[in-house]
Structure 1
Amino acid sequence: MSETKQDTTGAIERAIDALCDTPTLLLLEGAWLGVKRFDEFQQKTGLMKAMVSSRLKKMVEIGVLYKSAYCQKPPRYEYLFTEMGLDLFPVAMMMLDWEQTWSDQEGRIQVSLSHSVCKAGNVKPVCSCAECNTEVRIQDVEHIIHAESGAAIGGYSKRRRQAGLDRKSTVLFDEISEIFGDRWLSLLIRAAFLGSKRYDTFLEMTGISSNILVSRLNLGIEKGLFVKRAYQSNPERFEYLLTEKTYALYPILLFLVKWGDCWFGESAKNSVELVHKACSEKLAPQISCSHCGKEMTVFNTSFKVAEPKS
């Protein structure tokens, strides 16, 4: 039974399983800020040594990072992005943009982006269609769900919600790491983007156990991601509707889908096909510069960090 479920697991679910874990996201944040060494990762994230070690090891095994020796005796290593890791650039940019738009920035460092193509500074990353170069919004995308999508998450690790972490050093992905760091909440948001509104459809589309489903729906309401609305009074039944705050998360999932398709696509079935209604083409999202409209990549984008004012 587990083997059958493994065969139907989609690329996006594998991407979520690989990345959607709070400590992993905090370590990736550090890597984007230039952290390379074990002690620096621990200092930046506030995570326990054992957790830093296990998550770095996992990212090396997946292929997101690789180890490079900088000292032979005793052996010491730096953790650097592979091509697979650099390909997460659009995900990181959309997470950064969401965090700076929707989270409280008081006492937080500020990051400004510059685009070398147009020489402009303080630009914003825009999720756009590579085919027609227009901004992509969820209402502009047709989601064609294939039959196997309902069994998507079977066979993947069931993580407990990460709680009690020392988050004092988190400077960029603070709320994002809480949302996408909980893979069950991530899967609920994905199901909602695909049209799920009610308890039974969430249960069917995700395969989450009923007690976890209830706790994550309540967590989503607490964080302002879902609004609970009664659609039936006797017996009482509710719908869980997305907020504007949640719709703004859509580009992050789009780029997780793209990353999963690229790096897990051959060994994972893609349960959802995305079509951009504006051009009627299969959606290929890219990051565009808010100033010139040209593509932003890890090679033509730089960022400047400003420490918070004391």
Structure 2
Amino acid sequence: MSVDILDRDLNRGAALSPTGAAGADSDVLGRIGNFETRLARTAREVDAAQAIRYRVFVDEMKAQLPQDAMRRQRDFDAYDSFCDHLLVLDRSIEGDTEDQIVGTYRLLRQEIAVANGGFYSASEFDIQPLLARHPETRFMELGRSCVLPEYRSKRTLELLWQGNWAYALRFGMGAMFGCASFPGIDPAEHALALSFLYHNVAAKDEWAVKARPELAESMNLMPAEEINAKKALSALPPLVKGYLRLGASVGSDAVIDKAFNTTDVLIVLPIARISDRYLNYYGVDAGRFAS
């Protein structure tokens, strides 16, 4: 999204309508107590989500964004203009809606990606063979996940996943994928966790996916017999651990993202593989937290 377009939309409080549900209760995807998850309705709400992303990625994780983003103290890029932005709001916070946003995810459906130049993950991972092997499956990309530190609780994560699940059902998605990150740009610092993923949950056969060759970093850093599974699981970032609980697998390579100061892996989650335990919890019709 260009700065000029962003400023113009913010000045008029433009409604966003990539899903056709902007400004309506139909974009509310879940509620628990004072917390609500729904899609962003206005450019101001997207701007607030970008501010949260900046606080997490730059202030906390020491990312180095383009100069314009650093000046504005917003994490934004061209994808923001055509993605949907999932929000978690704490309605107990006094003030404007924008002040109530405490977590966010960026969601991109395959048909929208195709119309706008492709998926973000393709900048790091060779996802085209994966897509080509599943021409009847509609993919959605999950990205830019972040939650303010004081809200990193079971409730917030439940609402984010309630939102993702309800969104996937609403639009008939067949598989989810997206980058998940380890802190820092030295894969050796995460040898135990990365090796555990490589040996135990790497995507196979029709779901296999590799990094772009010029960016690929080996995840096979330890022999399988030397891996303590319990210690490896505890070393995984919470987001990656959450994906695995749902039934996800990972690509076979990692990628270093110097700008975001992370080591990335690709998560692959066919909807049909989501654990029955979680389907029962969230509801096969996404109704668990809908009221």
Q: Which of 1 and 2 has greater Rg?
A: 1
- What is the TM-score normalised by the length of structure 1? 0.27
Higher relative contact order, chain-length normalized (CA < 8 Å, sep 6+): 1
